[in-house]
Amino acid sequence: MKEQPNGESKRCSACGAIKPLGDFLRRTGRRSGRHSRRGTCRSCRQPATAAPSASREVLAKASESQAVVVESAASATLASRKKPARKRRRGNSVPGRQATAEVAASPPRREKESPSDVSFLKPTGGGFIRMRGKTDNGRRWYQEIEPELAYVLVKEGAAVVVNRHTIRRLYSNKEFRLLILTRDNYTCRFCGKYGDTIDHELPRAKGGHTTPVNCICACYECNQLKANRDVDEFMRAMD
C-alpha cells in the first residue's frame, strides 16, 4: 500500500517520491501548504538546468530553421506579385504591317490650308466670316462680313485665309494706295498722264470691291469724269 503524504510532505510528480515541502519551490501568490508548492522537487529540476549550453544550441538551430522558412515564404510572395510578361502579338511581328493597315483604314489627311484656298472657309453659326486687319496707325480691327465678300477678297488678293472661319486683310489704307500707285508707276490708265489717285474699274456702286484686281491708278480729272461709270463706257465717252 502506497504511503500517503501528510500535511508537511508532498509527492514529486517526476520521481514519485514523498519529500518534505522544503524540497519543492513555492508557487507565487499562494498561501503556505502543500498546494502552494510546485509539483516537481528540486533534485528533479536540476537536470533541466544542468546543461544550458545544449538548450541554447537547440534554440539557435530552431531560430535558423525558422528564418529560412520565413525567407522562402517572402520570396514566394514576391514572385507571386510580379506581373506576368506580356505576350507579343503576332500581328506586330512583321514590321510595317500594322502601320500600313492603319494608313489604309484612315482617310487621307488634308494638307495645311493654303492662304488663297477659299474652299477651306466655312461660315460661323451666325452665317458670317470673321475678317481682321489693322489701321494706318497699327491698331487691330475686327468685323464680320458676308461669305461671298470674303471669297472675293481672297480670290482677288486683298486677304488671306487664317483659319476655317477667319480671313485677314493684307493691307491698310495707306499700304494699299502705295501698292496700286507703285504698281502702275503713277501713270493714269485712261489718259497716260501722271496719276496720284485710285479708281475702281467696276464701281463700288455696281458691286466692285477695293482689291488689287479691281483698282487702278488714275489722275484727278479722269477720276472725277468717270464717276460711277464702267471703264468701257467711260472710254467710249472720251472718244
Q: How confident is the model over 56-83, as pLDDT tens digits?
A: 665 566 667 666 665 676 666 666 665 6
Please count the other Cβ atoms lying within 10 Å of the Cβ belonging to residue 161: 21
Range 223-228 average pLDDT: 91
Q: Is 237 helix (H, G, I), strand (E, B) or coil?
A: helix
- CA angle at residue 96 from 90 to 98, to 5 degrees? 55
Stretch 101-108: mean pLDDT, rounded? 53
Task: State the Cα–Cα distance between residues 186 and 170, nearest whole angstrom.
Answer: 21
Provide the percentage of residues in the chain whose pLDDT is more than 90. Answer: 42
DSSP state of 89: P
Mean pLDDT of the chain: 80
Interior CA angle at 123 toward 119 and 125, to 5°? 150
d(CA 135, CA 221): 29
Residue 102, phi then psi, degrees to nearest 5: -65, -40
What is the reported pLDDT for 134? 93
Q: What is the pLDDT confidence band of residue 89, given thresholds at 50, 70 and 90? A: low
Alpha-helical (H) ranges within the chain are 42-50, 52-81, 97-105, 147-155, 173-183, 220-226, 231-238
- What is residue 21's predicted lDDT score, i.e. its pLDDT? 79
Residue 222 pLDDT exceeds 80:
yes
Q: Is the model's pLDDT at 93 over the cut of 90?
A: no
pLDDT digits (tens, 9 = 90+) for 6-48: 667 888 888 888 888 788 888 777 777 767 787 888 888 875 4
Give mean pLDDT, residues 118-141.
92
Question: Can you give the pLDDT at residue 237?
Answer: 85
Terminus-to-terminus CA distance in the chain, angstroms? 169
**Of 93 and 198, more confident:** 198
